Structure 1
Amino acid sequence: MPLPAGNTTWPPPYLGPALDSMHTWDTWWSGDTDRLERLYGGRSGGAPDPKRAQFSGGVVGRIARWWWGTPTAPGERRTKLHVPLAGDLCGGSADLLFSEPPKFTVDDEATQARLDDLVDDGMLATLQTAAEVGAALGGVYLRPVYDKDVADRPWIAAEHADRALPEFTWGRLSSVTFWKVVREEDGQVWRWLQRHEPGRILHGLYQGTSDNLGHPVPLEESAATAGFATLVDADGAIATGYDKLDVVYVPNQPTRRWRSAPRLKDFGRSDLDGVEPLMDALDETYSSWMRDIRLGKGRLVVPESYLQSNGPGRGVNWNPDQEAFAGINVLARGDGMALTVAQFAIRVQEHRETAEDLVNQILRSAGYSGQTFGIGGDVAVTATEVTARERRSMTTRGKKVLRWRPELAHLVEALLAVDRHVFGGPIIPQRPTVEFEDSVQEDPLTLANTADVLRRAQAASTDTLVRAVHPEWDDAQVAAEVQRIQAEAGTAVPDPFQAGDIP
């Protein structure tokens, strides 16, 4: 299928519900209070009458009735606080998946050596970033890219789900079009479209408006696409050297919102989906807590004559944070001129318990245990105890690994194919075996104690004990360590049946 002909609404209208949800999740993930107020209409300058909007029906009224949709009263400074739990949650999801680099294994030795070089070239950092983006937006795209002026090898790049137009066949990604705004001038918008199909990538530059794709223009009209003008063929495509699709899509979790929408049902679900009201309530709780602290400052109710004059016709004022005041030259009177002390209580316990319950509910709804995010103390425990306490998080991690493993295998195969097509070399592109390391590992003392007990019980061989203490070692490293242990212990005796002929 070719690129769009132009003069069409962009993005396509059917993507609207998904893009709106991604925009909401992205706003919470960013932690930007200005964006939150704009999203929910809480800024007086963002709507003619925010209060009136709160009584409206439909989506506008529902959003405006959120706490972040409440405008700041005239004459008061904004005191709303935001707890960046959404960012912590998405970052924690990425840490669970890629705190340790996955292991990629192929059969050919030359290919394995080249693959090790490609993996060591920043792939883990890209995967960690992609996992966090996917947890926030509901999914992420990964693809191999290259630039001979930058590096002598290809690498992996992540594409965000809110700038992609995917096509799925029986739940599998069959093609996808990425777009990027490369220029904006006088109300005109230039978009660079890249459509990925099996074996090729089509490039197109369009000049339109903010909501219309416009008409195709030559690639030379933008500095971002000019370099591709001499590389594309008559169809505007560049061969990838890989006969399958060179892009993979990793959905974060199965979707709920668009289950019945044919074109959206294969989109993933964000970890923030459904917990937005709870995060809104958490921000309200912390802001109320800080409000109690502000109101809890000791206040003095004083007569107007006690205030400091700003000069004739300029009124009077006083500094509420000033702790000591100079004497005021007034006559002493007995008709209510006394000072009144106002000291409000700070409801620390109530706010703390409410905030903790909201945090626990948010994490539980997102599929994580509080222990994963440091809730419950930092007492040193064994890896088994950690896994037990973080069972819910480990279960969520396991479900995500099921989605990441096959897509990473496909991605690495595409990376090897692009590497051979562009840079050559004696490698054989093949689908690797992908192994995810345990995110929780036993400490060396616990492993040593376990090995000692098994040794004294004669329940395991030296080879088994070495593998248990060093699970990351390969067969050659284990065999060498077994020989050293046996040599030091004096148990390295030759096999009598291979000692040669007995005279």
Structure 2
Amino acid sequence: MPLPANGAPWPPPQLAKLYRDIRIDDAWYSGDHDKLTRVYRDNELRKDGRRRLWSRDRDVHQGKRDTRLHIPLAGDIATASADLLFAEPPTFTVAAPRTQDRLDEVAEADGIANTLLEAAEVASALGGVYLRITWDRELAARPLLTVVHADAAVPEWRWGRLATVTFWHELASDSATVWRHLERHSPGRIEHALYQGTADNLGVRVPLTEHPEVATLADSLGPEGDSIETDIDRLTAAYIPNIRPSRRHRGSPFGRSDYAAPLYDLFDALDTTWSSWIRDLRLARARLLVPDGYLRDHGPGRGASFDDDREIWQLLNIPPTEAGGITLSQFAIRVAEHAQTAEAVTRQAVLSAGYSAQTFGLGDQSTAVTATEVKARERRSMTTRGKKGRYWSPEVADMLHVLLMLDRALFTPGLTVERPRIEFAPVVSDDPLSTAQTLALLTQAEAVSTETKVRALHPDWDETAVHEETDRILAETGQAVPDPMQAGQLL
């Protein structure tokens, strides 16, 4: 499919339902009160007849402070998902030493670990994310790995795989005109186009030089004036689903958000609980009910006031009734009820998202535990991490492969290109005591070699260090002596 024709509706109608779901996920992820209110004022989202906390119109609160409280659990879930995958940077390895050095240089200079961390958080919230390889010679002498959000792309699939994709974003404008830059990636080619249209229509395609934000791209286009040839036969973009299948779009290649539909209700219930709790705090502020005679008159039209710091009172002309004194009014705060409800809702939301309660600090955190106990408590989170990692590993490896191919074509001639191997860092490191006990039992069972024990104790060591340490241990323990049965061969 080529770039869209003039006058095409935008965003494309076939993605309307997907974009609508992403809009809801984005509202919860952002935690913005205005976004949440706009989303739930949409008539299509209120057909179920539910009275959600965030479906109340803002005009109800005109002249009053909005007392609704939002708890950013959705954002916390997305952050936890990204941390489980990329809080510790993964390692990228290739066989060729020179290529490894160049890959390490690009990964460090470009901050690829941080890019993946950002992408993983966005994917958790929106159901998926795109990685894109691009370059700018004036900015950096290397290809760049960038992130594109799922609601800024129009993908084309073949057998469930990304065949081509068109990225788009709106440019700055000082009028009602909407300027859109479209960037279509296909194997071996990247096309650029600028459209001048309206909020729901792509409008007319115009030269890139018509808008200053993309005018510089015109100089890099090929002879045809609308595309860049990459000189490689690979797609310079990849789609990474958060996790599949998509329950709302069964059979589609899109991933699903960690906030899949049931969590919307739980997020709303959590906000309702905390809003009620804070309302109890406001209502429980001590208030004094005093007779009119206790008020000091400030004159006609100036009202009256009560001085609660005053210690001596003059004689007041009030009837001697039982209700004539000062009354303290203070309501109870239902702390336990609200706390238990909030924790139960949070726990269920976390479990429904695929994580252990302990990942979010729900549980006994007062005692020290071993790495084995941590893994047991967070088994659900580790399982989810493993599933997500299997979606990330091949796509990240493909993108780094493309990055090296472009690097050879544009910046580093003669570079040996190969597909990197991705290894995720462990989330929980084994404590030395647990590792020592395990190795001792394996040694006693004669089921492990000295080299394997050294590798288990020092997983970060390279081959040379492992072999040198193994030789030292064998020499010190006397295991390095020649086999007596082979002594005749030494003569």
TM-score (norm 1): 0.89
Contact 2:293 2:317 in 1 (8 A): no
Matched AA of 1:131: A
Matched AA of 2:249: W
Is 1:244 matched with 2:234?
Answer: yes
Is 1:130 matched with 2:119?
Answer: yes
Q: d(CA) in 2 for partners of 1:216 and 1:162? A: 22
Matched AA of 2:31: G
Is 1:150 matched with 2:136?
Answer: no
Alignment counterpart, residue 348 of structure 2, candidates 354, 361, 364: 361
1:326 deviation in Å?
5.8
1:25 alignment counterpart:
25
Is 1:219 matched with 2:208?
Answer: yes
Seen in structure 2, the aligned counterparts of structure 1 residues 432 and 502 have a Cα distance that, compared at 3 Å, is closer
Contact 1:183 1:191 in 2 (8 A): no
Bigger shift: residues 240-249 or 28-37: 28-37
Is 1:253 matched with 2:243?
Answer: yes
Q: d(CA) in 1 for partners of 2:113 and 2:369? A: 28
Alignment counterpart, residue 196 of structure 1, candidates 173, 181, 185: 185
Matched AA of 2:4: P
Q: d(CA) in 2 for partners of 1:308 and 1:161? A: 64
Matched AA of 2:218: A
Matched AA of 1:256: R
Seen in structure 2, the aligned counterparts of structure 1 residues 306 and 267 have a Cα distance that, compared at 3 Å, is farther
Deviations 1:36-67 (A, max 9, x none): 233334xxxxxxxxxxx9xxx75345487211
1:279 deviation in Å?
0.5
- After superposition, where does 1:266-345 map in structure 2 within 5 Å? 266-274=253-261, 275-307=263-295, 309=297, 311-316=299-304, 324-325=309-310, 329=314, 330-335=316-321, 336-345=323-332
Q: d(CA) in 2 for partners of 1:498 and 1:183? A: 81
Q: d(CA) in 2 for partners of 1:497 and 1:119? A: 52
Deviations 1:157-196 (A, max 9, x none): 0000111111111110001101111221220111110000
Structure 1: tracts of 5 or more residues without a match: 42-52
Alignment counterpart, residue 408 of structure 2, candidates 406, 420, 436: 420
1:73 deviation in Å?
5.2
Seen in structure 2, the aligned counterparts of structure 1 residues 32 and 334 have a Cα distance that, compared at 3 Å, is same
1:142 deviation in Å?
0.2
Contact 1:111 1:426 in 2 (8 A): no
Q: d(CA) in 1 for partners of 2:270 and 2:289? A: 33
Seen in structure 2, the aligned counterparts of structure 1 residues 40 and 146 have a Cα distance that, compared at 3 Å, is same
- After superposition, where does 1:441-456 map in structure 2 within 5 Å? 441-455=429-443
1:22 deviation in Å?
1.0
1:374 deviation in Å?
1.5
1:46 alignment counterpart:
none
Contact 1:414 1:429 in 2 (8 A): no
Matched AA of 1:324: D
Seen in structure 2, the aligned counterparts of structure 1 residues 268 and 323 have a Cα distance that, compared at 3 Å, is farther
Aligned length: 482
Bigger shift: residues 154-163 or 69-78: 69-78
Contact 1:98 1:128 in 2 (8 A): yes
Matched AA of 2:232: Y
Seen in structure 2, the aligned counterparts of structure 1 residues 292 and 415 have a Cα distance that, compared at 3 Å, is same
Matched AA of 1:289: W
Bigger shift: residues 438-447 or 140-149: 438-447
1:421 deviation in Å?
1.2
1:382 deviation in Å?
2.0
Is 1:112 matched with 2:100?
Answer: yes
Contact 2:152 2:168 in 1 (8 A): yes
1:77 alignment counterpart:
65
Q: d(CA) in 2 for partners of 1:305 and 1:215? A: 76
2:159 alignment counterpart:
170
3-state DSSP class of the match of 2:172? strand
Contact 2:94 2:419 in 1 (8 A): yes
1:367 deviation in Å?
0.8
Matched AA of 1:246: T
1:498 deviation in Å?
8.7
Deviations 1:94-130 (A, max 9, x none): 0111122222222323222212222223111000000
Seen in structure 2, the aligned counterparts of structure 1 residues 73 and 153 have a Cα distance that, compared at 3 Å, is closer
Q: d(CA) in 1 for partners of 2:409 and 2:485? A: 53
Contact 2:286 2:329 in 1 (8 A): yes
Alignment counterpart, residue 373 of structure 1, candidates 351, 360, 370: 360
Seen in structure 2, the aligned counterparts of structure 1 residues 300 and 459 have a Cα distance that, compared at 3 Å, is same
Q: d(CA) in 2 for partners of 1:73 and 1:423? A: 59
Matched AA of 1:232: L
1:216 deviation in Å?
1.0
Structure 2: tracts of 5 or more residues without a match: none
Q: d(CA) in 1 for partners of 2:373 and 2:73? A: 25
Alignment counterpart, residue 461 of structure 1, candidates 449, 458, 466: 449
1:431 alignment counterpart:
419
Contact 1:462 1:482 in 2 (8 A): yes
3-state DSSP class of the match of 1:284? helix
3-state DSSP class of the match of 1:267? coil
Seen in structure 2, the aligned counterparts of structure 1 residues 225 and 494 have a Cα distance that, compared at 3 Å, is farther
Contact 1:63 1:69 in 2 (8 A): no
Contact 1:241 1:417 in 2 (8 A): no
Q: Which runs of 4+ in 1 moved over 6 A?
A: 495-501
2:38 alignment counterpart:
38
Q: d(CA) in 2 for partners of 1:215 and 1:29? A: 34
1:48 alignment counterpart:
none
3-state DSSP class of the match of 2:181? strand
Contact 2:218 2:225 in 1 (8 A): no
Matched AA of 1:252: N
3-state DSSP class of the match of 1:230? helix
Identity of aligned residues (%): 49
Q: d(CA) in 2 for partners of 1:409 and 1:35? A: 36
Contact 1:202 1:235 in 2 (8 A): no
Seen in structure 2, the aligned counterparts of structure 1 residues 171 and 501 have a Cα distance that, compared at 3 Å, is closer
1:348 alignment counterpart:
335
1:475 deviation in Å?
2.3
Q: d(CA) in 1 for partners of 2:2 and 2:24? A: 32
Q: d(CA) in 2 for partners of 1:272 and 1:453? A: 44
Deviations 1:257-311 (A, max 9, x none): 1226xxxx22211101220111111011011111112222222222234345554
